[in-house]
Structure 1
Amino acid sequence: MPFGGFPWGRVAFSQADSPLLHLVALGGPALLGFAVALLGALGLLAVDVLRERRGMHHLAGVGLAAVLLLLLPLLIPAPTQGTPATLMAIQGNAPLAGLDFNKTRREILDNHGRVTLEAAAQVQRGSCRHPTW
């Protein structure tokens, strides 16, 4: 409770371009995941209100709550706004799929070392941008 069973982090990772993203500055992935789930619940409630023909004032209330949930996080300053960085990721690959990859640890280490040296050579030649972070 509250993290046992529901993948809050996975829900948050799907929100890279969402207006809700600013919530991460206040409550991390858990708050962002909760807000996404709440927005989905509000959408379901709106469908239920329409189906049951409860009245426009109920639908207006649900709609207002959804709009506020979408727009209010935009007032939170996002710490990701700043100077962009150039990153480099190295993937040397594992020869075996699944959990048996540890049987060939030396080969995996050698693969990563080789790919790292190749990336460094590309940076020196100018065919790849230099990492800035």
Structure 2
Amino acid sequence: TDIDAFLQWAASHYGVDQSRIYLTGLSCGGIGTWEYLRTVGANALPAAVVPICGNGIDAWNQRGCLLGNMPMWAFHGDADGTIPVQGSIVPLTGVAACTSPVAADARLTIYPGVGHDSWTATYNLSAGHDIYAWLLTHRRTTTP
């Protein structure tokens, strides 16, 4: 994928710890994060992902419980009029219910009364969720 090509380029040009590559995106980037997981599956380079106000229903429909191999923490506002909150609820509740494989670390945070901008409070930590510390708890155990 284009994302993998960029990640491999960055790793070859900078001092990137390849076990600590993370992917996050908001709105269309959140959709892109889910699309990446849908198309790449088990060969994904990131150690963890944080899709924000994305839509992972297609990824869930195609990959199902295999999505749980990737640690993920999704965020969405329940009043999002641009990308419905079900886009995060469906895949995360599905992954959380999986028993084979059991999800590596699947989290879902829904912001009550928040519209499409669920990224500001997530990225600036004002909502009390330290995604950066959470990301750093995850390492990719196989090299790309």
Scaled by the length of structure 1, the TM-score of the pair is 0.26
Scaled by the length of structure 2, the TM-score of the pair is 0.24
Q: Which protein, 1 or 2, shows the higher relative CO under an 8 Å CA cutoff with sep ≥ 6?
A: 2
Q: Which has the higher strand share?
A: 2
Bigger CA radius of gyration: 1
Q: Which has the higher helix share?
A: 1
